[in-house]
Structure 1
Amino acid sequence: MEEQFKDMMGLIGDTTRAGILWTLMDGKALTATELAVAANTSPQNISMHLTKLVQANVLMVEKQGRHRYFRLSRQDVAYALEAMASLIPPKTSKSVAAPGEIPDVKYCRTCYDHLAGKVGVMLAENLVARKLIIASSTAFVMSPKGEKWFSEFGVDIKGLKQQRRTLLRPCLDWSERRNHLAGALGAALLDRMVVLDWLRKKKHTRAMLITAKGQQAFYDHFRMSV
Structure 2
Amino acid sequence: MKAGTDLAQIASLVGDPARANMLAALMGGTALTASELALEAGVTLPTASAHLSKLTEGGLLRVTRQGRHRYYALAGHHVAGMLESIMGVAATLGPRKVLPGPRDNAMRQARVCYDHLAGEAGVAMFDAFGGHGFLKVDDEAVTLAAKGERFFEDFGLDLTAMRSKRRPLCRACLDWSVRRSHLAGSIGAAMLDRIVEMKWIRREKDSRILRFSPTGRQSFERMLRG
**Structure 1 and Structure 2 fold alike (TM over 0.5):** yes
Distance 1:223 1:20, change over 3 A: same
**Alpha-carbon offset, residue 181 of structure 1:** 0.2
Shift of 1:213: 1.8
Among 50, 53, 56, the alignment partner of 2:52 is 50
User: Does the 8 A contact of 2:91 with 2:177 survive in 1?
Assistant: no
Pick closer, same or farther for the CA change 1:101–1:16 going to 2, 3 Å. Answer: closer
Tell me by how many angstroms 1:223 deviates.
Answer: 2.8
Residue 68 (structure 1) aligns with: 70
1:4 equivalenced with 2:37 (yes/no): no
- Is the 8 Å Cα contact of residues 31 and 68 (structure 1) preserved in structure 2? yes
2:120 alignment partner in structure 1: 118
Which residue in the other structure is 1:156 paired with? Answer: 158
State how far apart, in whole Å, the 2-side matches of 1:216 and 1:47 are.
Answer: 45
| Cα shift at 1:89 | 4.2
1:166 is displaced (CA, Å) by: 1.2
Per-residue deviation, 1:67:
0.7
Relative distance call for 1:109 and 1:60 in structure 2 (3 A) is: same
C-alpha deviation, 1:138, in angstroms: 2.0
Gap regions ≥5 residues in structure 2:
none
Counterpart Cα distance in 1 of 2:116 and 2:221: 20
Determine the C-alpha separation between the residues in 1 that align with 2:163 and 2:82: 23
AA of the residue aligned to 1:203: K
Between the aligned residues of both structures, percent identity stands at 38
8 A contact 1:197–1:213 mirrored in 2: no
Aligned ranges for residues 176-195 of structure 1 at < 5 Å? Answer: 176-195=178-197
Residue 165 of structure 1 and its aligned partner are, at CA, apart by: 1.2
Q: Counterparts of 2:153 and 2:117 in 1: how far apart (Å)?
A: 19
| Equivalent residues in 2 for 1:29-48, closer than 5 Å | 29-48=31-50
Question: 1:129-148 maps to which residues of 2 (within 5 A)?
Answer: 129-148=131-150
1:43 counterpart letter in structure 2: L
Query: Relative to structure 1, is the Cα distance of residues 71 and 151 closer, same or farther in structure 2, using a 3 angstrom cutoff?
Result: same
SS of 2:191's equivalent? Answer: helix
Q: TM-score, length-normalised on structure 1?
A: 0.93
Measured in 2, the distance between the counterparts of 1:92 and 1:63 equals 39
CA distance 1:39–1:92, shift in 2 (3 Å): closer
AA aligned opposite 2:158: D
Aligned length: 220
Distance apart, 1:102 and its partner CA = 6.8
Q: What SS does the corresponding residue of 1:103 show, helix, strand or coil? A: helix
